[in-house]
Amino acid sequence: MTIPQLTLNNEIAMPAMGFGVYQTPPDDTVAAVEAALETGYRHIDTAAAYQNEREVGEAIRRSGIDRSDIFIETKVWITDYGYDATLHAFDKSARKLGIDQIDLLILHQALPGEFTLTVEAYKALETLLADGRVRAIGVSNFMSDHLTRLRDETSVVPAVNQIEVHPYFRQSDVLTANAEHGIVSQAWSPIGGITFYRDGSHGSTLDDPTLQSIAAAHGKTPAQTMLRWHLQQGRQVIPKSVTPSRITENFNVFDFDLTADQLAAIDALDTGVRGGPEPDDITRETFGLEIPEP
């Protein structure tokens, strides 16, 4: 099956669904990515901070799929912000992945307390884009005010903003800001996994009666229903799993449509409660992580 494509603001095509490897241990990453590629995923999302880029690259090589048919995304961590440091971060990631060109390279956090470093890091991404070493650039966990600050000091509008979005935390204001800037919204934790593995006080989206009812009406699972909700609202999704059956389940979401009332009912589940850390709380002192050389 051919995955629908989204066209980024620089005319690069990106699959509407990708496969994430956040918190996937290196020892499990090769098998998980191989299973995803065999299922039909053609976009793999990793990050320097995940420390599994090398294994992602190994899985891609083992797959036998032509490099040009796989969209590879990775992220620069905050300890490698700054112009020269970010250029070197690209080299580290590219060497670990075993590739010469990265399809999408993004800044992992806004680092608002040291935004000058963020701007310099983004200018390095602009240089990498101009040199053809990356095909598209973007950001992650940027709120609307961060996007405005970045726009005022740089030249290239991010192609993607990867943010926490799921039925219990829709971030409608950021989605609107992304749309106004022509930025694709990319949902991490798209089925709300963060609501039950980090803080279970809000309950699991998978057990939500509204989602279960809508899923049953279509003969689908709540996870598939949530992914379909994202896709129909124009977001790119990057579900993660190490279980082959769930990797396949998450992929089978292109054969049904939610009604307008069902989409609205899922929108109404928003609690306004973030599962991940507050973007303004991210500092190099508290979230510093040394990214090793290849």
**Catalytic machinery residues:** 50
Which two tokens mark 212? 């279960």
Nearest-angstrom CA–CA distance, 173 and 176: 5
Give the C-alpha separation, 117 to 31, whole Å: 36
Identity of residue 184: V
User: Residue 160 to residues 84, 125, 144, 175, 182: CA-CA distances in angstroms?
Assistant: 23, 13, 13, 11, 9
Residue by residue, DSSP assigns 114-135 as: GHHHHHHHHHHHHHHHHTTSEE
| Three-class HEC string of 231-272 | HHCCCEECCECCCHHHHHHHHCCCCCCCCHHHHHHHHCCCCC
Q: Are 30 and 39 in contact (CB under 8 A)?
A: no
Strand order in the sheet with 134-140: 19-20, 43-45, 71-76, 102-107, 134-140, 160-164, 184-188, 236-237
Alpha helices in the chain (DSSP H): 26-39, 53-63, 83-97, 115-130, 144-153, 172-181, 194-197, 209-218, 222-232, 244-251, 260-267, 284-287
CA distance 10 to 8: 5
